């Protein structure tokens, strides 16, 4: 087949002659003239998509070699990349527009209605998994006749349970929905944490710590998945910084709670650490049951019997859905009650571009681990009282929390500035002059902001 090239003049090719050339034949005899008529592209909405081929079954093209066979689907590049079974399909509209004021209002409302309760639930997580250090300061090891080695092994049992349950828990959460599975997880680990009130020896200690790890394993990935329904990728880092800020600050609040509760040693003949486990478990189980009422399936599914008006208006739902899908169209591939297959899981795990991130995730907490797990035990052994040991863990927690927020802010700030600098420097002098002439003063949103200030 000849190698054809298209040549045309002008900006509009509607009803204009277009000339085709065969690049292999240098003479002008290979030129062919044709008349092309191009109609304007229609603006499509959800109601116009009667033949959405992205929801059709896949057609598998066989290869003579079994290992080379791939399931391929012919894709119309002009089709809407949002499946019909997506829970927010009714609010999806490629022509939807909104103002910056509306977008800011929607984000603020999402922070109050959605993100704030995520922080409350994360507080419950860290309250129950971080109180062991305070309990150790109240002579837990001696009271149930276990050694420091048993304490180390119990910490490992918790981590093993946590790691083993992370992926299965997230797969289950994707199947039944984070809004259902997250409250169940909180209630389950609260019962396991409260069970530490009845510990009598090494076996019960190991069992409780392992079960707590199993039930907590999927909470963090499920919560991040849930937040991705409401926020764009660029809006997640700072919110995740507050997510981990609560992780640290819950240790501060937990230390103050422990300072008061540990004075209950002797009440009903029980040690103070037993009351600590029980009272903090009651706090978290209350948060777990309340989460059934506060969490919603998604931005367009917020109306309930106890909240008939829902969290968002129809206009706000459209803004949330369209801004999120435009930022990442792949979020429209599945609905929020659709599980992932083992094949999809393997594809995710085999994405080697993410492996360096996994390595960083494994290594970055190594320096933090020993002080976090053994600070109270060390302070107790060098002569500090139970209550002073509990309070001395507060300063390092506060400073590390504030430092994390500050570093995250600097990362976001300088990354944005670096992007602007790179884009500005890539423009020619003429393009820079045109940009300055046609863009009104927008403060630090201007590409030349760094140079003008």
Long-range contacts of 235-244 (CB under 8 A, 24+ apart): 235/107, 237/408, 237/411, 237/412, 238/408, 238/409, 238/412, 239/111, 239/115, 241/404, 241/405, 241/408, 241/409, 242/115, 242/119, 242/405, 243/118, 243/119, 243/122, 244/404
pLDDT at residue 396 in the model = 75
**What percent of the chain has a predicted confidence (pLDDT) above 70?**
74
Question: Does residue 19 carry a pLDDT above 50?
Answer: no
Is pLDDT at 323 greater than 60 in this prediction? yes
- Which of residues 36 and 142 earns the better pLDDT score? 142
- The 10s digit of each residue's pLDDT in 396-441 is 778 877 887 787 777 776 665 455 566 667 777 777 777 777 766 5
Whether the CB-CB separation of 322 and 91 falls below 8 Å is answered with yes
Which position has the higher pLDDT, 62 or 101? 101
Boundaries of every domain in the chain: 4-36, 49-91, 106-342, 395-453
On whether the CB atoms of residues 420 and 449 are closer than 8 A, the answer is yes
Topology of domain 106-342 in CATH is: Growth Hormone; Chain: A; (1.20.1250)
Give the chain's largest Cα–Cα span. Answer: 105
For residue 355, what is the enclosing H or E element? helix 355-363
Mean pLDDT of the 378-390 span: 74
Residue 294: C-alpha distances to residues 87, 116, 160, 183, 306 (Å): 19, 10, 31, 10, 10
- 367 confidence band (pLDDT: 50, 70, 90): confident
Query: Model-level pTM?
Result: 0.70
pLDDT tens digits for range 80-116: 555 566 777 778 888 889 999 999 999 999 999 999 9
220 pLDDT band, cuts 50/70/90, is: very high
Distance CA 294, CA 118 (A): 10
C-beta separation of 176 from 257 below 8 A: no
């Amino acid at each position: 087949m000849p190698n054809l090239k298209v040549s045309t003049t002008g900006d509009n090719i509607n009803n204009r002659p277009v000339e085709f050339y065969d690049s292999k034949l240098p003479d002008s005899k290979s030129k062919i003239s044709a008349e092309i008529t191009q109609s304007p592209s229609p603006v499509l909405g959800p109601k116009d998509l009667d033949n959405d081929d992205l929801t059709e079954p896949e057609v598998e093209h066989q290869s003579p070699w079994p290992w080379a066979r791939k399931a391929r689907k012919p894709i119309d590049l002009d089709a809407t990349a949002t499946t019909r079974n997506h829970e927010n399909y009714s609010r999806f509209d490629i022509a939807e527009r909104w103002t910056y004021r509306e977008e800011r209002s929607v984000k603020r409302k999402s922070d109050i209605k959605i993100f704030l309760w995520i922080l409350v639930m994360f507080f419950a997580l860290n309250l129950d998994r971080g109180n062991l250090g305070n309990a150790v300061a109240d002579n837990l090891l001696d009271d149930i006749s276990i050694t420091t080695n048993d304490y180390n092994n119990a910490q490992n049992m918790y981590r093993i349970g946590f790691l083993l349950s992370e992926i299965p828990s997230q797969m289950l959460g994707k199947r039944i929905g984070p809004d259902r599975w997250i409250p169940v997880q909180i209630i389950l680990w609260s019962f396991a944490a409260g069970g530490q009130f009845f510990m009598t020896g090494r076996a019960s200690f190991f069992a409780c710590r392992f079960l707590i790890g199993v039930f907590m394993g999927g909470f963090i990935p499920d919560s991040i998945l849930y937040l991705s329904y409401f926020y764009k990728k660029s809006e997640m880092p700072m919110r995740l910084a507050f997510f981990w800020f609560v992780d640290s600050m819950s240790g501060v609040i937990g230390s103050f709670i422990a300072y008061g509760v540990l004075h209950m040693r002797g009440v009903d003949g029980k040690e103070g650490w037993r009351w600590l486990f029980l009272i903090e478990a009651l706090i978290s189980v209350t948060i777990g049951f309340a989460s059934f009422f506060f969490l919603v399936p998604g931005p367009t599914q917020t109306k309930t019997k106890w909240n008939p008006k829902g969290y968002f208006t129809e206009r706000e739902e459209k803004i949330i859905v369209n801004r999120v899908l435009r930022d990442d169209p792949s979020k429209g591939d599945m609905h929020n009650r659709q599980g992932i297959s083992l094949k999809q899981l393997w594809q995710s795990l085999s994405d080697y571009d993410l492996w360096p991130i996994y390595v960083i995730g494994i290594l970055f907490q190594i320096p933090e681990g020993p002080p976090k797990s053994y600070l109270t035990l060390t302070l107790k052994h060098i002569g500090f009282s139970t209550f002073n040991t509990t309070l001395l863990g507060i300063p390092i927690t506060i400073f590390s929390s504030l430092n994390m927020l500050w570093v995250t802010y600097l990362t976001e700030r300088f990354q944005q500035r670096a992007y602007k600098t790179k884009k500005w420097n890539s423009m020619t002098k003429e393009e820079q002059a045109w940009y300055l002439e046609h863009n009104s003063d927008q403060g630090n949103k201007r590409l030349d902001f760094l140079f003008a200030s």
